[in-house]
Amino acid sequence: MTARPADFDTRYFRSALGRFPTGVTVVTTDGGSHGPVGLTISSFNSVSLDPPLVLWTLTRKASSLSYFQRAERYVIHVLSAGQLHLARQFAQGSQASRFAGVDMTRSPHGAPMLADPHCAAWFECHNHSQVEAGDHLIFIGQVERCHRGAGLPLVYHAGDFDLTPSREPLPEP
């Protein structure tokens, strides 16, 4: 059976999708001679516990698309409420300007990652597979290493950042 045509426009669809609050991540990978490549992504989600799989989606229009298609691995950083500046910085400008003033390090298997210890969590992923889906590509990552921080996560809702109300940080697991 084929799908019926949509009875809404893209603007309305986006605004309905915006009612689903998400976290905010910065995804980084190695751009080879180009240096590190990264961008802000809110389409991150969990897929499978065993094997450990996660997903995120990237618009086909992204200038970083080819780097992520070719990447062996990438790191997904879940931003904390105190990292709003990183969410903004990695959603605009040139790749060089996104990394300006940002301390970088390497993940356990060698991908460039943020050195900021305040991330709510990070996931080092092998680039497991990619699925074409409309105007986006779904990236499925197999998690090789992860870290859970104690900071409260940054939240995105209705097209804007929403600082989680202050609460005690989570206890160590």
Ligand X SMILES: Cc1cc2nc3c(=O)[nH]c(=O)nc-3n(C[C@H](O)[C@H](O)[C@H](O)COP(=O)(O)O)c2cc1C
Give least dist CB 52 to ligand X, A: 20
Q: Is 23 or 149 the residue whose CB approaches ligand X more closely?
A: 23
SS3 of residue 129 by DSSP: strand
Cβ contact 38:95 at 8 Å: yes
Give least dist CB 44 to ligand X, A: 7
Give least dist CB 24 to ligand X, A: 5
Q: Is 158 left (phi over 0), alpha (psi -120 to 50) or beta?
A: left
Nearest-5° Cα angle at 120, 117 to 124: 80
Give least dist CB 57 to ligand X, A: 5
Q: Which contiguous run of DSSP H or E holds residue 37? A: strand 36-41
What residue ranges bind ligand X (CB under 6 A)? 24, 39-43, 57-59, 62-64, 87, 91-92, 156
